[in-house]
Amino acid sequence: MTDRLLSQDALADLADVAATGRWVRSGPLRLHVLDYGGDGVPLLVLPGITSPAISMDFVARELTDLVRPVVVDLRGRGLSDAARSYTLADYADDAEAVVTGLGLHRPILLGHSLGARIAAVVAARPNARIRGSVLVDPPMSGPGRGPYPTTLEMFRDQLRQARRGTDAEEVARSWPRWSRRERELRARWLASCDAEGIDATHRGFETEDFFATWPSVPAPTTLVYGADSPVVTADGAAEAAATNPGATLVEIPDAGHMVFWDAPDRACAAIRDLLGSQRA
């Protein structure tokens, strides 16, 4: 899309990332991923609605001694192509294309927010060749349920800010708990997101029901959620436990929906523990 922006400063951020940029085709789309390499079990990392792959670098760095993180620029984000369609099925097809294109043998899936929804769809598909999945604070909104707590207009406002130019200080007004590096990356990379991709995905949060897929996600799977998250509430966590009794639920204290950004030490420690049990 012509309204997507990526500055020279943003591209220069990649020089500080200890990963190799790789490209995969999903149908007509070119998808970009950050591959952290190594001989470990592949970990396919699927970010959220407005999170290009580089935004998950601080998580991937903490895991390279355990696994081989491969972080995806979802369609319409970062360096990946924009698309005409942004359904969960589309995103799941892209994830499978990355697995096939890079020859990832039985990866573990790690998704945050939108990425958690994508991971659930991939894991629940027949003949999914994965070791396990970790779903971090998946949106539980959907038909007949409450709305997603962040409105579409809030996302649009943040995107407009990024496109006219913003900085870490302005980002801090929305995300005061984030580290300066993560706020700087947000300021430089949010403008790479396709506006229609955000709009369509947000509509999906209201029309595509997480609980239509979640009961079919096989073990081992873990649902990680922030204790203070408005997205995975106490009622939502209870429903998740009841509808998929084979799953493990892990609550991260003092974290909202942006679990890794709100409580990075606790969240990364929890993920390390979970990966240790799923790598076999």
Query: Which CATH number goes with the domain that contains 44?
Result: 3.40.50.1820
pTM: 0.97
Quote the CA–CA distance of 137 and 258 in Å, as a whole number.
8
Give residue 276's pLDDT band: very low, low, confident or very high (50, 70, 90): confident
| 91 touches 66 (CB < 8 A) | no
pLDDT digits (tens, 9 = 90+) for 133-171: 999 999 999 999 989 999 999 999 999 999 999 999 999
Quote the CA–CA distance of 239 and 18 in Å, as a whole number.
39
Above 80 in pLDDT, residue 2?
no
| 58 touches 181 (CB < 8 A) | yes
Residue 180 lies in a domain: no
Above 70 in pLDDT, residue 41?
yes
Quote the CA–CA distance of 133 and 275 in Å, as a whole number.
9
Residue 76 lies in a domain: yes
Tell me what the mean pLDDT of segment 12-33 comes to. Answer: 98
| Domain membership of residue 76 as a residue range | 17-145+207-278
Q: Which residues contact 47 (CB under 8 A, 6 or more apart)?
A: 53, 55, 56, 71, 72, 74, 77, 111, 112, 113, 114, 115
Residue 88 lies in a domain: yes
Residue 211 lies in a domain: yes
Residue 100 lies in a domain: yes
Residue 167 lies in a domain: no
Number of domains in the chain: 1
| 109 touches 120 (CB < 8 A) | no
| 52 touches 77 (CB < 8 A) | yes
pLDDT of residue 227: 98
| 192 touches 5 (CB < 8 A) | yes
Residue 11 lies in a domain: no
